[in-house]
Chains A and B, each alone.
Chain A
Amino acid sequence: MIAMADTKHLYQEVILDHNRKPRNWGLPQEATHRAEGVNPLCGDDIHLALRLADDTVEAIGFEGESCAICKASASMMTAAVKGKSRADAEQLAHEFRNMATGQLDLTQPHHLGRLTVFAGVRDLPTRVKCAILPWHTLQAAFNAVATTSTEAEADPMHAPIGGA
């Protein structure tokens, strides 16, 4: 028997729920930062926009076409970073990427909270990018990069997130 990821832990009710009813769907008014994130391998394509005031994410929303993992990740990300400072949001992005790529020890203190439902993707290499794409796009928006991709130079698996 081959040991493989138990994806039952990936498609949990919370992820399915965020996929069915994504939070913060639609782009906010008077956005100060926007970016598009694409994964050309599977066709995931999301648009993200946010309004930063006093260095705080005052409003954030997204829309687009993607798989359930990407959509739920975007939905939970927007809920998690709304009201947070840019620095705190970037810290979350850093921890999320490390979790998804299996480089975060979840027994140590972290700030991910319910976002740990995505921990299972670390055992599914082809799906890691689906979960990371929204966070990669958030970093691109912060850094005023109009379009980012999961491939080539912008590949979040190689480049440090937001390092575009």
Chain B
Amino acid sequence: MTAIHTAVIKPSPIALDVERIRRDFPILKLKVNGKPLVFLDNAASSQMPQPVIDRWVRYQTSQHANIHRAVHYLSETATAEYEAARRKAQAFINAREEREVIFTSGTTEGINLVMHGYGRKFIGVGDEIILTTLEHHSNIVPWQMLAEEKGARLRVAPVNDRGELLLDEYRKLFSGRTKFVGFTHVSNALGTINPVREMIAIAHEHGVPVLIDGAQAAPHLKVDVHELDCDFYAFSGHKLCGPTGIGVLYGKARLLEQMQPFKGGGDMILSVTFEKTTYNVIPQKFEAGTPPIAAAITLGAAFDYLAETGMDRIAAQETELLDYATAEVNRLPGVRIIGTAEKKAAVLSFVVDGVHPHDVGTLLNEEGVAIRTGHHCAQPVMQRFKVPATSRASFAFYNTLAEVDALVAAIRKVRRVFGS
């Protein structure tokens, strides 16, 4: 808890000491194909620093038992640590109440929880759900499933050629039939930062609740759900230096209380008879079964690590990396950046003329450079920009300008090999 306070009080005027930060990440010392690993696939999953790894080990070596159950020492310890992690999540996104923080398996489960818990209860035939072209499949498919089941309809807000949301077009989609809005905070395929505050305000003018997919935003920007006034905010632990299998769904208490449970089981009930079950209060109502206790507690340590490092300094370092990479890649002939929004975070998607992204990815791997190639689970974005796939470099605060140089040199090599 001290760590969080330190970060809030100190406005972090000094730039990050990246070399010192890198020493915290053992995996960054790896060599791949005889070359130093240049890990630029952070938008898919980020790496874990030693203090966070150590937290998992400490939990498993001295604190593990099932939570919310027994009266013995270990169960009480594990329960206390698990609930402490919930408060760290609460502080990380500035939620008003800790019961508004639900642990999920990740962003996908968070969105599915809202679809089942809110959507299936409150959305019916003829109702409309607004999404945007920029969505990851995980914020499209659940709503499509709901629309099919209920006879509801999806409306999609378009983007311009830079990959920026057209706010006026978005506004025009609202009508008396609009019952829900879901959109991404930061596009995973293009890096666009959406004008979420305005988008939320427009939805609220129409009395419509909003879910934000924060998977790509939470690792890079200071997220304040209270200030944003969003109704739901979902993100994943493994994209912000935490483990896989754990994520957070924030929801306004008023809405969470009205919603139906997503999964049935232990811990989400107050009493059970074969005639009737009384559900538990939030957040337990949405946490059926034994949760990923170790992952949640370890995620808590990741929140501490990020808070100590300072989200503003993290954002500044990543902006410097993205600006430098954008300028360098723009100088390469035959290479085109996809997604040129004015406001972007940590993602550089590009195509090399005449070379399929998978060939780019394989050749970059030969140089030790790890990027993602493909449609990035955002096929509507690929269709909008008329490309089958892109190559995507995505940055974290532990990346360096020298690593950007390695990326650029590797892209030059791709062009040499293909004679393009």
Q: Is B389 part of the binding interface, using a Cβ–Cβ cutoff of 8 Å?
A: yes
Residues of A66-123 contacting chain B, CB below 8 A: 66-69
Closest A residue by C-beta to B365? A7
A16-B417, A127-B362 known; A43-B388 Cβ under 8 A? yes
Q: Is B33 part of the binding interface, using a Cβ–Cβ cutoff of 8 Å?
A: yes
Q: Is A145 part of the binding interface, using a Cβ–Cβ cutoff of 8 Å?
A: no
Report yes or no: B375 in contact with A7, Cβ–Cβ below 8 A: no
Q: Is A6 part of the binding interface, using a Cβ–Cβ cutoff of 8 Å?
A: yes
Report yes or no: B362 in contact with A42, Cβ–Cβ below 8 A: no
User: Closest CB-CB distance, B137 to chain A, in whole Å?
Assistant: 12
Report yes or no: A43 in contact with B375, Cβ–Cβ below 8 A: yes
Report yes or no: B363 in contact with A11, Cβ–Cβ below 8 A: yes
A66-B356, A130-B358 known; A43-B31 Cβ under 8 A? no
Give the secondary structure class of A's interface: mixed
Q: Is A152 part of the binding interface, using a Cβ–Cβ cutoff of 8 Å?
A: no
User: Closest CB-CB distance, B29 to chain A, in whole Å?
Assistant: 11
Residues of A7-25 contacting chain B, CB below 8 A: 7-8, 10-11, 16, 19-20
Chain B residues positioned under 8 Å from A130 (CB to CB): 358
Q: Is B359 part of the binding interface, using a Cβ–Cβ cutoff of 8 Å?
A: yes
Choose one: A2, A20, A42; the contact of B356 (CB below 8 Å).
Answer: A42
Once bound together, how far apart are the Cα atoms of A43 and B389, in whole Å?
7
Q: Is B13 part of the binding interface, using a Cβ–Cβ cutoff of 8 Å?
A: no
Residues of B269-298 contacting chain A, CB below 8 A: none
Closest B residue by C-beta to A127? B362
Closest B residue by C-beta to A66? B356
Chain B interface size band reads: 20 to 34
Once bound together, how far apart are the Cα atoms of A2 and B418, in whole Å?
26
Chain B residues positioned under 8 Å from A42 (CB to CB): 356-358, 373-374, 388-389
Q: Is B176 part of the binding interface, using a Cβ–Cβ cutoff of 8 Å?
A: no
Once bound together, how far apart are the Cα atoms of A71 and B373, in whole Å?
18
Chain A residues positioned under 8 Å from B388 (CB to CB): 42-43, 65
Q: Is A27 part of the binding interface, using a Cβ–Cβ cutoff of 8 Å?
A: no
Q: Is B355 part of the binding interface, using a Cβ–Cβ cutoff of 8 Å?
A: yes
Once bound together, how far apart are the Cα atoms of A43 and B357, in whole Å?
10
Once bound together, how far apart are the Cα atoms of A93 and B55, in whole Å?
51
Chain B residues positioned under 8 Å from A65 (CB to CB): 388
A10-B362, A127-B358 known; A16-B419 Cβ under 8 A? yes
Once bound together, how far apart are the Cα atoms of A130 and B358, in whole Å?
9
Q: Is B32 part of the binding interface, using a Cβ–Cβ cutoff of 8 Å?
A: yes
Report yes or no: A2 in contact with B32, Cβ–Cβ below 8 A: yes
Chain A residues positioned under 8 Å from B355 (CB to CB): 68
Chain A residues positioned under 8 Å from B357 (CB to CB): 42, 67
Closest B residue by C-beta to A121? B362
Once bound together, how far apart are the Cα atoms of A11 and B418, in whole Å?
9
User: Closest CB-CB distance, B324 to chain A, in whole Å?
Assistant: 27
Report yes or no: A4 in contact with B33, Cβ–Cβ below 8 A: yes
Chain B residues positioned under 8 Å from A127 (CB to CB): 358, 362
Residues of B198-224 contacting chain A, CB below 8 A: none
Once bound together, how far apart are the Cα atoms of A10 and B345, in whole Å?
35
Report yes or no: B362 in contact with A7, Cβ–Cβ below 8 A: yes
User: Closest CB-CB distance, A141 to chain B, in whole Å?
Assistant: 23
Residues of chain B touching chain A, judged by Cβ–Cβ distance below 8 Å, are 30-34, 355-359, 362-363, 365-366, 373-375, 388-389, 417-419
Not counting A69-B358, A126-B358, a sample of 12 additional A-B residue pairs whose C-beta atoms are within 8 angstroms of each other reads A6-B366, A7-B362, A7-B363, A7-B365, A11-B359, A11-B417, A20-B419, A42-B358, A66-B356, A67-B356, A67-B357, A68-B359
**Pairs A–B under 8 Å by Cβ, sample size 11:** A6-B33, A8-B366, A10-B362, A11-B417, A41-B374, A42-B374, A43-B389, A66-B356, A67-B357, A69-B359, A124-B362
Top 10 closest pairs, chain A to chain B, by CB: A43-B388, A67-B356, A67-B358, A1-B31, A68-B359, A7-B366, A42-B358, A67-B359, A43-B389, A4-B33
